[in-house]
Structure 1
Amino acid sequence: MPTPRHHLNRQRRRQALSDPPAPGPRAHAARAHAPVALLPEPEPVSEREPEEELDADTPAPARTAARRRRFSPLVVLCLLTLLLGAFAGWAHHRASGLRDDPARGNTALTDLARTSEIKGQTAAAVAALFSYDHADTAPFERAGRTLLTGKAVAQHKALFGGVLAQAARQKTVITTTVTDSAVERIDGDRARVLVYADQSSVSTAGTGKAKSADQGVYAGAMFALDMVRRDGRWLVESIDTFGR
């Protein structure tokens, strides 16, 4: 027959089996020194947007649009390169054309002293070459020898061939005065001058009433002269009467 002591021992065994053992000092120490797990470091964020991954299940229009978006910067860069190259070529060609343009060698508007010199000597040459006095032909003949060169010699003779014969008979005095001139071009020692002149022709052959009746003939003239510099002087090299 069980005694009270046996009942007490049985209750203790049941209590020991039902309650878990309390943690010991070593367990507390191990838990206190257990390493703390660190949070995973965030992956660096790239500034470049991830490219779209295309697989076999992606529809064809979507793949085409993705490729266009991927290659559009490259296409724009190529187009800009081509445009810049074309512009550089055009600019080089334009600059070469300006350097080779004959008008750039014209100093008529920039060299004012030379322009004034040409105009002054041209006016003096025209007055001597296109004026004639039947009583004193020496200045006219001297001008033809000293102020003409090249084909202007023959042109001057052709212009005055018939005039001189008539002027000798009628005892004519021809006076030519430059009213205005313009230097169209100066290229080194050559120049082209546009001349405006007034010309009068008076006959002194008549006597009495016939002489007083001749009031003379007045006319305006316009022509161009090609001038060339020789030995410090500007000579007439060509006479252009514009087909007259």
Structure 2
Amino acid sequence: MPTPRHHLNRQRRRQALAAAPEDTAPRPRPRASVGVLTGPAPGAGRRPAAKPVRETAGAPEEDTAASGSGPRRLVPLVVLCVLTLLLGGFAGWAHGRAGELRDDPARSNTALTDLARTSEIKGQTGAAVAALFSYDHADTAPFEKAGKTLLTGKAVEQHRTLLGGVLARAAEQKTVITTTVTDSAVERIDGERARVLVYADQSSVSTAGTAKAGGKQPKAQDQGVYAGAMFAVDVVHRDGRWLVENIDTFGR
């Protein structure tokens, strides 16, 4: 049982503790750490910062770069599809264009590549034009033979129409018509057909005249008519010869 003195001392300590400032209150002595956490670490109550999950062996990386890997993988595939479509379209266009070039008549023209055939056409066409458009009233056999052997197709009627009126007057005026091919150019050779542009000089002289007194020879009535001509002929190869099948006078 405590004595009155012991009770008095206890009461004094309580009064002293009550009168002392808060910062002078006794603090608990810190315990020494023994290497194992026995309480919450400093900063307890805070949620630890999230750490990025790095890619490990056999597991995909889960950071922000991994989320964008999907769209980037699609880019090469889209580019490949576009290139495939473009190349396919170009191949189709090239095939169609090649067919057009093969079907183009200008591509089958061998006038500039087959020089021997071109020279042959020019020579035979020049000779045919000279025979077909030359006429001598005193010897009509060459003219008639040329019309029968060097013409074919619609050129037969064209030749008759062109020279019909001339021949009617030539018999009366005893005319001599001479045609000389001065130049020619093969525009096109397409297989067994060709088109030739012809330049020619033509002269027409009448030999009819009146007798002079004294029984001398007739005197020519004129000195002749000379003119240049340009036209085109279409020729076809038959039986080893080039025959005229069309005469184009360009609307004249």
User: What TM-score comes out, normalization by structure 2 length?
Assistant: 0.69
Instruction: Report sequence identity in percent.
Output: 79
Aligned counterpart, 1:220: 228
- Provide, for residues 1-47 of structure 1, a one-character-per-residue CA deviation record: whole Å limited to 9, x for no partner: xxxxxxxxxxxxxxxxxxxxxxxxxxxxxxxxxxxxxxxxx96799x
Deviation for aligned residue 1:99: 1.9
Deviates more, 1:76-85 or 1:127-136: 76-85
The count of corresponding residues between Structure 1 and Structure 2 is: 192
Q: Following TM superposition, by how much is the alpha carbon of 1:69 offset from its aligned partner in structure 2, in angstroms? A: 3.9
CA distance in 1, matches of 2:95, 2:117: 33
Aligned residue number for residue 251 of structure 2: 243
Higher normalized helix content (fraction of residues): 1
Give the 5 Å matches for 1:76-225. 76-207=79-210, 211=219, 214-225=222-233
Do 2:206 and 2:220's aligned partners in 1 also have CA atoms closer than 8 Å? no
Structure whose CA Rg is larger: 2
TM-score of the superposition, structure 1-length normalised?
0.71
Deviations 1:135-160 (A, max 9, x none): 11111111111111111111110001
Q: Unaligned stretches of 5+ in structure 2?
A: 1-54, 213-217
Q: Deviation at 1:118?
A: 0.7
The AA in structure 2 aligned to 1:199 is Q
Q: Relative to structure 1, is the Cα distance of residues 112 and 44 closer, same or farther in structure 2, using a 3 angstrom cutoff?
A: farther
Given that 2:111 and 2:188 are in contact with CA atoms closer than 8 Å, whether structure 1 keeps it comes out as yes
Provide the C-alpha distance between the structure 2 equivalents of 1:88 and 1:104, rounded to a whole number of angstroms: 21
Q: Hey, what's the Cα distance between the residues in 2 that align with 1:203 and 1:223?
A: 25
**SS of residue matched to 2:210:** coil
Q: Say whether the 8 Å CA contact 2:208–2:220 is kept in structure 1.
A: no
Q: Distance between the aligned counterparts of 1:53 and 1:188, measured in 2?
A: 70
Bigger CA drift: 73-82 or 122-131? 73-82
SS of the residue aligned with 2:138?
coil
Q: 1:188 to 1:70 in 2, by over 3 A?
A: closer
